[in-house]
Amino acid sequence: MTGGYRLSFDRADMQVDAIHTFLAQSYWAEHIPLAIVERAIAGSLCVGIFAPGGEQVAFARVVTDRATFAYLADVYVLESHRGHGLAARMVTALHDHADLQGLRRWMLATSDAHGLYAGLGWTAVEDGKPFMQRHFPGVYGRPRQ
């Protein structure tokens, strides 16, 4: 990758403590326990980006059956490394991953990155009627106000 960054799909490269630190402070996974992050990584196809010194500075994962469906989750780039297109590189690498070709549907949820995803070919769900959810926002602790 340009800028000295390295992209990896190798689960052994993922710095779980760093990923947990970010996610536990994020708006979507606030207070998430380390053990849950470990389980999520174990059950997902993950991608990380690493700075020249080896620090993990970005992460994303896909929950998928590798046949029909994928859910993109936990996409982040540390603030000090934003502006280099790292999120787009991770999502594009996931789109191009051999295990994720021919899927019928990809989904994600975001509160603040619609422009990023639109630029990568994602569209808003126009008819949400078919979609339902079970949502437990306080499962990791006190939900945000």
Domain ranges across the chain? 2-118
* Residue indicated by tokens 């994600």: 108
Q: How many helices (H) and strands (E) does the chain have?
A: 4, 5
Q: What is the pLDDT of residue 143?
A: 53
Which mean pLDDT values do the consecutive 10-residue runs of the chain (145 residues) have? Answer: 89 98 96 97 98 97 98 98 97 98 97 95 93 90 60
CA torsion through residues 45, 51, 54, 56, sign? negative
Cβ atoms of 24 and 32 closer than 8 Å: yes
Q: What is the pLDDT of residue 1?
A: 62
111: CB partners within 8 A, 6+ apart: 27, 28
Q: What is the pLDDT of residue 38?
A: 98
Residue 72 Cα distances to 42, 129, 142, angstroms: 15, 21, 24
* CATH label, 2-118, candidates 3.40.640.10, 1.10.10.10, 3.90.420.10, 3.40.630.30: 3.40.630.30
